[in-house]
Amino acid sequence: MNSHGANRHSRAIIDLEALRQNYRYLKETAGGNRLIAVIKADAYGHGAVEVATALADADADAFAVATVGEAVVLRQAGVTQKIIIMSGFVRLAELQSCIDYSLDPVLHHQFHLDCLQAVPDLSDLEVWLKIDTGMGRLGFSRERGREIVDFLAGLNTLGGIRMMTHLAHADAVDSGFTELQMGQVKSLGLDDYEWGIANSAGILGWPDTHRIWVRAGIALYGADPMSDRKQMQRELRPAMVMKSLVLAVNAHQKGDMIGYGNTYTCPVDMTIAVVAAGYADGYPRHKVDSAQIEIQGKLCDVVGRVSMDMITADVSHLEDVRIDDEVTLFGANPDVNDLADCSQTIAYEILCNVGAHVKREYIG
């Protein structure tokens, strides 16, 4: 604990009211369909128990996590809403936990069917049958869809059966692949069942994917996943703001080099602030373009390489920057998606990494 978390200068401020507002906005955008809040990976670094508790106040319909263990922690913390296990169970003991804790496993492999058949009393366990319509990861083939539905319907102690698939390219507004996937869903002839199809991108960009249940991951946390996000203004508020402070302010002359590898040379005389944050705090090291941070309400270019504990930024255009001045590394401005673009990654990775490394403070 000496090298991260509460003992670091960097911190993530989590706005719970922003999460509640995003949930309500996404549910409205989905036409009032039942909205599953995806809180796997410790709620994308925001804190799963804290997020679930906050969204319970917004009358969240259900939650989704990746593993049975994640769901058990939520149940033990008092979360009562439906919890869906997106990766299913990986051993018979986990199936028993699903029964004991009233969790909804996603079925995507013959192993799951064999386990269900081996348990004499499933206690009305509710399940989601996943069909692969083009993602190519988890899910049964379309050809087996009807056969498996019939098999599940024959298990007398099994409870409700719902259907699910995963959109592979819904973030691209000009792609026709989502329509192809929806065509495959239609071809199954299973419209009498409740479906969960839309992810965040499906909610925001593809109304035809809104089928009784939708699920929101990254958009819940205020990051717009759509390819047209710079042209469209959607009512999403960032739930995480990463902040730190200034460690030092140094005057440099034209020709001075900054940071490891001598990758940045001052083109003119400059004032450089050293900020107490780095890749040890989850801030991305890799940059293909100049990222920006905010000091005194103004954007400042990050220069030189990001170090383990320090970032260097050009503050030549600011007056009287001092040690311990507050720094915003991402939030509303700069946006986490902009930082992700600079780093050739996605907002998901940045939020998860930062949230796992720095201390978290909750507001709202």
Task: Give burial (CB, 10 Å; 0-12/13-18/19+) of 248.
Answer: middle
Verify cis geometry, omega within 30 degrees of 0, for the bond prior to 238: no
Q: Catalytic: which of 186, 230, 254, 260?
A: 260
The answer to whether the beta carbons of residues 293 and 275 sit under 8 Å apart is: yes
Separation between Cα atoms, residue 50 and residue 121, nearest integer Å: 34
Separation between Cα atoms, residue 83 and residue 68, nearest integer Å: 10
Pairing of strands 326-330, 240-252: antiparallel
User: Please, what is the Cα angle at 16 between 81 and 103, to 5 degrees?
Assistant: 20
Closest by CA position to 63, among listed 19, 110, 112: 19
Residues in the chain, total: 364
40 is catalytic: yes
Place of tokens 């369909």: 33
Separation between Cα atoms, residue 43 and residue 47, nearest integer Å: 5
Helix, strand, coil shares, percent, the chain, to 5: 30, 25, 40
Q: Catalytic: which of 27, 40, 130, 243?
A: 40
144 DSSP 8-state letter: G
The answer to whether the beta carbons of residues 248 and 9 sit under 8 Å apart is: no
Pairing of strands 212-216, 34-38: parallel
Catalytic residues: 40, 260
